[in-house]
Structure formats: C-alpha cells, structure tokens
Amino acid sequence: MSNLRQQHITPLETLHTRVIPRQNLKLLSAGFSFFVAGTNDGSMGPLLPYMLQYYVIDTSLIALIYVVTFMGWVVAAATNSHAPKYFNLGALLAIGATLQLLSQTLRPWKPPFPLFVLTFFFSALGQAYQDAHCNTFVSSVEGAHRWLGFIHGMYGFGCLVAPFVATTVASARVPSVWTLFYIFPLGLSVFNLIFVLFSFAESVCMIKKDITSEEIPPSEGTSSAQGTVARESGRNKSAVEELRQMMKLRSLWLISLFFFFYLGVGTTAGGWVVQYLVEVRHGKLSKMGYIPSGYYGGLTIGRLLLAEPTYRFGETRMLLVYTALSLVLQLIFWLVPNIISSAVVFSIMGFFLGPFFAAGVSVASRLLPKHIQSAGLGMIFVVAQAGGAIFPSLIGLVAAKAGVSVLQPIVVALIVIMGITWYFVPAASDHLE
C-alpha cells in the first residue's frame, strides 16, 4: 500500500514534501515566462492605432483580437484538468513556451489580418499553460507571497518595456514597420523555451504511470491495448471528478468573478488609453504611445513593493484600500482634461493595482484543495481572461459609433464592481486537503 501511495504522489505534492533541485533557477524561469507574457500584452495599447491604420479597419474589428485571445484561455481551461494527467510540469511549461514562440514567429512578416488575429489564440493558449502551472509551482514554495509578487512584477516589467520598444519602432517613417516590433518578443520567446527546457529538464516528459493502472491490474486475458484503454479511462474519470469538485466550490466562483473585473480594468484601461489620449485629449500619437509605460511601471513597482505590506496587514483589507485609491485616481484621470496630470495619475493607479493579481493568486492557492489547485487556478484565469476580452471588445464596439470617450465611465464602473466582488471573497488560512 505504501508503494501505491508513493506512486500516486502528484507533482504538486512532491513540491511540498521535498527540497526542489535548482529551485531558484526554476523560479527565475517562471518569472521570465511572465516577463515574456508582459511584453506581448503590454504592446497592444501602443500598437493598436497602427493596426487600425495598416489594416484599414475600425475599432469594432479590434474586438476580434480580444475574442480570439479569450478562446485560447478557454481551450486551456478545458484541458488544464486533463493535461497534468499526461504531462509533467516541465513538459506543460515547454508546450506553453512553444505555442508563444509560434505566435511571435508569424507576426513580423505582415500577415493578413485573419492570420494576425489567429496568432493571438496561440499566444493566449501558451500563456495560459505557463501562467497556471507557474502560479501553482510558485504558490507551493516557502515565502510564496514574495515569489508571487516577483513573478507578477516581472509581468508588469514586460508590460513596462513593451511600449518603449513598440512606440520607438512603430513611430518610424515607414507605415508598415510597426510589425518589426514582434522580432523583440520573438527573441524573448526563443530564450523562454530554452530556459524552461534547462530549468525543468527532469520533468520535461510524459507521465507513464498513475494510481489507476496500479490499483486495477489487467487480468491474464486482458490485452495490453485493453489495459491502455482502461488506464486512459481512469485518467479521464479522475479529471472529470476533479472538475466536478471545482464547480461546487463557492470560493472559486467568487474569486474568479473578482479576477474577471480586475483584468477587465487593467486590459481595458491599458489597451485603449493611447487611442483615448489621441482622439479625446488630442495628444500626438508618437508621444502618447509611451503613456502605458508609466502605468505598467507603476504596476511593476506596486507588485514588488506592496507584496509584503499587503500580506502582513491582510489581503482582504489592503486590496479594498487600494481599490478606493484607484477609484479616486481614475476619477481624476477622467475629470481633469490635462495630458500631463492624466499620465501621472494613470501611473499611480497602476502602482495601487499592482499587488492585486499576486494577492488574489495567494488567496486562491490557500482556498483551493491541493489536488485541484492547478486546474482551479486555470479556471480562475480563464474567467479573468473573459473579463480581459469582453470589456475591451465592448469599448471597441461602442467606440465605433459613440467614440472612445466611453472608456472612462466604463473603467470607473469596473473598479467599483471589482471592489464589491473582492469584499465577498472569503478569508483564507491554510490549504484545504
């Protein structure tokens, strides 16, 4: 029986029960994967006006990019409870890195708009695999709240760097040169894959055995093919049972709803701010493209500096305080029609929104039972991405008729609802068994 138990230890349980070889290297790899994701996401706002010009489309078609991105996360959520039954941690992260590399390989060559949109599906699917399993891994180490702050800070740093590179490249004299920006994330994606393969080398493989095949050995008359079918059936049943357990968790749905609105705030504000400042505040495009860097710079610093006080004084209390401050800053951005003040308060708002993601993941990792933690986080992230797709798409559709000035009241409403949903998320202590 002890042998059965040893063979059924999951990768996540192993992380909790032994010293992990090259752990710091793995944590750095996890952080770098978030940096790569940040460079992808942070480039959207500065490049959006150039996409509109180059492809000769209106803002309603930009909604397709957000929808396709969301679909990538949906596919990841649908497979996240099954994939760990077949692949070890390193293999899952390598799959995610490969998909992101594929998307960045297609973009620099000025693809037709439908193919360009499709690349966002691959990048989202790859990010989803890396995000979910990196978060699960980092949540299991000692001092997890600090390391979560680090990896999510790296995401913010990627978002900070991307507008500088994107705007510098895109504001060149040649109209179509903006696609050359994607050579930058392409190089990062190559290194991301190499880093994963090196850091997680011992787990870049498929899982060959599980408890199902050991508990129910095939009879003498059973063929090896039938035994394989039985093992596959056992794995699928286990994954379905875990999914069923997840759906019954009230805390999972509450924190998913919080992330739904949180990512809606960040993606909507960061994705449309350049177009807003150009169209409504009449800013110069070549200069307004740098404004998101201030926001993402604040986001990065907030994730690094506020991680410890947020943890010490309580995530529930502190995130409510940050929500109130963010609401005030967003109102100033909306009501004071000055580009300089807008840039300043937008950056400070990023600072206070910074610790939300890491704190939310930290709370979720303590609320969810260990055996469904990876799949549960995957579900949370796909609901979050729904918010990150629906609200920017809504802005695009409405802006096509009413103008992009609708951005500000929508962001204000999202911040208020985000704070309300966080208030109802239960307090977390230790892991559930």
Cα distances (angstroms) measured from residue 70 to each of 42, 47, 124, 129: 16, 19, 7, 13
Confidence of residue 8 (pLDDT cuts 50, 70, 90): very low
Confidence of residue 243 (pLDDT cuts 50, 70, 90): low
Contacts of 397 (CB under 8 A, 6+ apart): 59, 60, 63
Confidence of residue 418 (pLDDT cuts 50, 70, 90): very high
Greater confidence (52 vs 386) lies with: 52
DSSP code at position 201: G
Q: How far apart are the C-alpha atoms of 80 and 74, rounded to whole Å?
A: 10
Short-list 388, 404, 399, CA closest to 268: 388
Q: How far apart are the C-alpha atoms of 174 and 178, rounded to whole Å?
A: 8
Q: How far apart are the C-alpha atoms of 372 and 365, rounded to whole Å?
A: 10
DSSP code at position 368: S
Confidence of residue 187 (pLDDT cuts 50, 70, 90): very high
- State residue 270's pLDDT score: 83
> CA neighbours within 13 Å on the CB side: how many for 293?
14
Percent of the chain with pLDDT over 90: 33
Short-list 154, 382, 373, 160, CA closest to 256: 382
* Segment among 21-25, 56-60, 269-273 with least mean pLDDT: 21-25
Q: How far apart are the C-alpha atoms of 20 and 16, rounded to whole Å?
A: 9
Q: Do the Cβ atoms of 286 and 407 come closer than 8 Å?
A: no
Classify the C-alpha dihedral 66-68-69-75 as positive or negative: positive
Greater confidence (424 vs 237) lies with: 424
Beta partners for residue 37, in sequence order: none
Statement: residue 213 has pLDDT above 50: no
| Arch. (CATH architecture) of 11-209+244-423 | Up-down Bundle (1.20)
- State residue 124's pLDDT score: 92
Query: Locate tokens 């991307």: which residue?
Result: 162
- State residue 223's pLDDT score: 54
State the chain's mean pLDDT as an integer: 82
Could you state, in order of their start, the residue ranges of all structural domains in the chain?
11-209+244-423
Statement: residue 230 has pLDDT above 60: no
Greater confidence (218 vs 92) lies with: 92
- State residue 190's pLDDT score: 97
Classify the C-alpha dihedral 188-192-198-199 as positive or negative: positive
How many Cβ atoms are within 10 Å of 28's Cβ, its own excluded?
A: 16
DSSP code at position 370: G
- State residue 231's pLDDT score: 52
Statement: residue 381 has pLDDT above 60: yes
- State residue 11's pLDDT score: 45
Contacts of 142 (CB under 8 A, 6+ apart): none
Q: Which helix (H) or strand (E) holds 331?
A: helix 315-335
3-state secondary structure of 87: strand
264 token code pair: 């809606």
- State residue 430's pLDDT score: 46
* Segment among 151-165, 241-255, 389-403 with least mean pLDDT: 241-255
Q: How far apart are the C-alpha atoms of 162 and 40, rounded to whole Å?
A: 7
Which of 50-64, 133-147, 167-181, 189-203 is most confident?
189-203
Statement: residue 89 has pLDDT above 70: yes
3-state secondary structure of 432: strand
Which of 8-17, 329-338, 382-391 is most confident?
329-338
- State residue 97's pLDDT score: 95
What pLDDT, in 10s, does the model give residues 283-305? 888 788 888 888 888 988 998 89
